[in-house]
Structure 1
Amino acid sequence: MRRFVMSDSHGGYKAMMQCIERSGYDNDTDQLLFLGDVVDGWSNTMESIDLLLSINNLVYILGNHDQWALEYYIGKMKKDEETKELWLLQGGAATVRSYGSGKPMPQEHLAFLEEARYYYVTEDNILLVHAGFDTNLPIEKSTSYNLMWSRSFVTRCYNRYKEKRPVTIEPYKEVFIGHTPTIALDATQTTPLQMGNVILTDTGAAFTGCLSIMDIDSKEVWQSDKVMRLYPYEEGRNGISWNSRRGG
């Protein structure tokens, strides 16, 4: 069985399909570990979750956008207009359009998000989490904010990496995370970034980058086309479409 990791597709179903196809993913024998944020940004959130539901051997980690979408569709945002407006501006409006304005999220999709994990540790001691964790505490005592939202873990690791100091997060063999796009740290870092035993897998599919899928064991990477080119008439979370950017 090969093990693959992917993260932060943000409604980019077309990019997900390209990654699945280009990696030669075998749905009968392989495993996909997805580090969250399948929703919010491009127009195919509904199709993206349908695709994940079709994966036989899937581990899904809850991302901050997944949590937002879940809260919206179970009615938690009704009394919090400020959070609702922020979510809509940060890609949530595309998720609403994907399901249809005023329509509910299908129960199967709600259950998918509700049953997602906050983190996952493999049998060979590899940690997979959306945003990071508090290294001063056991992973099970980390708050949902640290696991889904905070960028402090990535910032500390990246600063050490840039200073050419060792990055070794114990007690894990490796740590795979999403949430922070590699291209936000370095515009030229368009592939997953390995910093010691920490691997950052979000390559900016929500913005101007590609979606990546990595074989956890061999570290081979396959990528989609630039996702904004797959949705040339959509602004996504960029605020400008590919065609507008090109002057077309």
Structure 2
Amino acid sequence: MKRFVTSDSHGGCKALQQCLDRAGFDMEQDQLIFLGDVVDGWPETKESIDLLLQIKNLVYLLGNHDQWALDYYTGNLLTRENELELWLLQGGTCTVKSYGIGKTMPKEHLQLLQQARPYYETDDNRLFVHAGFDTTRPVAETDSYYLIWNREFLTRYYTMHLQQEPVHIEAYKEIFIGHTPTIALNKQQHTPLQLGNITLMDTGAAFTGCLSIMDIDSGKVWQSEQVMTLYPEAEGRNGISYEKLQKGLRTFELE
């Protein structure tokens, strides 16, 4: 069994399929560890989850957008008006349209999000988490908000990287995170970013980047086409479509 990791496809089913195809992923035999945020952004959240549910050995982690979508479809977001509006602006509208306005999320899709792991540790001491974790305590004691939202972990080690300080977390052989697009840190960083034994897997698929998938054991990476070119009329989370890109790209905010 080969082991692969990907993250933050944000409704880009075409990109996810391209990555699986290009990596030669075996839906019956191989394992995919998805670091979260399959929802919100491009038009195919429903199709994306349909695809993930076909993978026999899927390990799905909860992302912050997954939590938003889960709260919406279980009715918990409806009373938090300001947060609901923010979610809709940050890609949630596309998720709602994907399932149909006024319609519910299918039971199997809801279960995927409800049963998503907060983090995942392998037998060979690799850690997978959406946003990061508090290194001053065991990951099991890190609160859920930190695991799916907080960027302190990333900020600390990216700053060390920029200052050319050695980055290595002794507790794990390798750590894989998503959540923060590499292109938000460096516009030229279109591939997964290595910070010592930390790998950033979100390569900006929700915005102007590609979706990336990595063979965990070999480190080989495959990528989709630039995702916005696969949905040229859709605005994604950029707020502007690929067709209108030549007229100027709106600045996006990370959430």
Q: Give me the whole-angstrom Cα distance separating, in 2, the residues matched to 1:28 and 1:35.
A: 20
Counterpart in 2 of 1:61? 61
Counterpart in 2 of 1:185? 185
Unaligned ranges ≥5, structure 1: none
Q: Residue deviations 1:61-116, cap 9 Å, x none? A: 00000000000000001211111000000000000000000000011111110000
Equivalent position SS for 2:86: helix
Counterpart in 1 of 2:202? 202
Equivalent position SS for 1:28: coil
Q: Give me the whole-angstrom Cα distance separating, in 2, the residues matched to 1:145 and 1:170.
A: 23
Counterpart in 2 of 1:174? 174
Q: Residue deviations 1:193-221, cap 9 Å, x none? A: 01100000000000000000001111100
Q: Give me the whole-angstrom Cα distance separating, in 2, the residues matched to 1:98 and 1:190.
A: 27
Aligned-partner residue type, residue 76 of structure 1: N
Equivalent position SS for 1:225: coil
Counterpart in 1 of 2:92? 92
Counterpart in 1 of 2:77? 77
Aligned-partner residue type, residue 221 of structure 1: V
Counterpart in 1 of 2:16? 16
Equivalent position SS for 1:245: helix
Q: Residue deviations 1:152-174, cap 9 Å, x none? A: 10111101111111111121100
TM-score, scaled to structure 1:
0.98
Unaligned ranges ≥5, structure 2: 248-255
Q: Give me the whole-angstrom Cα distance separating, in 1, the residues matched to 2:195 and 2:152.
A: 15
Q: Residue deviations 1:127-186, cap 9 Å, x none? A: 000000000011000011110001110111101111111111121100000000000000
1:30, CA displacement in angstroms? 1.0
Counterpart in 1 of 2:229? 229
Instruction: List structure 1 segments (4+ residues) > 2 angstroms apart after TM superposition.
Output: none
Identity %: 64
1:246, CA displacement in angstroms? 3.2
**Cα RMSD after superposing both structures:** 0.7
Q: Residue deviations 1:18-45, cap 9 Å, x none? A: 0000010112221100000000000000
Q: Give me the whole-angstrom Cα distance separating, in 2, the residues matched to 1:166 and 1:216.
A: 22
Counterpart in 2 of 1:122? 122
Counterpart in 2 of 1:220? 220
Q: Give me the whole-angstrom Cα distance separating, in 2, the residues matched to 1:168 and 1:246.
A: 41
208-217 vs 25-34, greater mean Cα deviation: 25-34
